[in-house]
Amino acid sequence: MASLIHCPHCGVRPRDEFTIKGDATVHRPAVEASDKDWADYVFIRTNPVGLHKEYWQHLAGCRRWLIVERDTVTHEVFSVSDAQATYVGGEA
């Protein structure tokens, strides 16, 4: 059986309906930031081990962007929240 994810909009759904879109802890530099800051933002990423926040999209459901907090080793999901609500609230 596939892993299950609790979408805040659609309820419990199979993991196959979601797509991982990237690190939710990276912050975009200011427009006037240096070329090095922009290059680091675009090209340099860590490969985290353990608890980590990621952007996921529920492609086969509500199509909403979500922030999923999961363990990158065990793939256990600890929390799922709406990315827009989290971003507006300043938690991301």
Q: Is the pLDDT of residue 88 over 90?
A: no
Mean pLDDT confidence for 63-80: 95
**pLDDT grade, residue 87 (50/70/90)?**
low
pLDDT (mean) for 36-44: 94
Tokens standing for residue 19: 């797509």
* pLDDT-based confidence at residue 53 (cuts at 50, 70, 90): very high
Please state the pTM of the whole predicted model: 0.82
- DSSP-based three-state secondary structure for 69: strand
Q: According to the model, what pLDDT value does residue 1 have?
A: 40
Q: What residue ranges do the domains of the chain occupy?
A: 4-89
Place of tokens 């459901």: 61
Fold that domain 4-89 belongs to in CATH: Folate-binding fold (3.30.2270)
